[in-house]
């Protein structure tokens, strides 16, 4: 029986990707390709010092803490936005209630101008 030839790992994979439908999808495809290329370089030992340092920095505890901090800041910003929307809604409801109270008490509304004495 003949030997099976191992795939050549020195060449980057050029699998066919479906064309991206949006700019965001295209960007994600480019990121994926770049990550695959750098991963292959790291495995082959041909990665540049910048490529290696980038991934080493990602593994540090400081980097992980910074990521957690950014996530917390995002949550705070979302909470503030929701609180602002809730306050605006409360203000609208209060204004509508005050208008209704005036109309019910006979002090508001445009009907006053319609009557002649």
> pLDDT (tens digit, 9 = 90+) per residue, 32-85?
999 999 999 999 999 999 999 998 888 888 888 999 999 999 999 999 999 999
Query: Which pLDDT band, with edges at 50, 70 and 90, does 16 fall under?
Result: confident
Query: Which pLDDT band, with edges at 50, 70 and 90, does 4 fall under?
Result: very low
pTM for the complete prediction? 0.47
Taking 50 as the threshold, does the pLDDT of residue 104 lie above it? yes
What CA–CA distance (Å, rounded) separates 61 from 65?
A: 6
All structural domains of the chain with their residue ranges = 20-59, 61-107
Query: Which pLDDT band, with edges at 50, 70 and 90, does 11 fall under?
Result: low
DSSP track, 8-62: -TTSPP----PPPSSHHHHHHHHHHHHHHHHHHHHHHT---HHHHHHHHHHTSHH
Give pLDDT, residue 1. 47
């Amino acid at each position: 029986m003949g030997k099976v030839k191992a795939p050549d790992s020195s060449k980057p994979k050029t699998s066919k990707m479906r064309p991206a439908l949006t700019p965001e999808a295209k960007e994600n495809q480019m990121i994926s390709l770049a990550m695959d290329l750098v991963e292959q370089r790291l495995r082959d030992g041909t990665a540049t010092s910048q490529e290696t340092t980038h991934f080493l920095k990602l593994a540090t505890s400081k980097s992980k803490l910074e990521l957690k901090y950014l996530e917390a800041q995002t949550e705070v910003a979302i909470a503030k936005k929701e609180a602002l929307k809730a306050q605006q809604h409360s203000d609208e409801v209060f204004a509508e209630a005050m208008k209704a109270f005036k109309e019910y008490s006979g002090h508001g509304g445009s009907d006053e101008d319609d009557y002649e004495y």
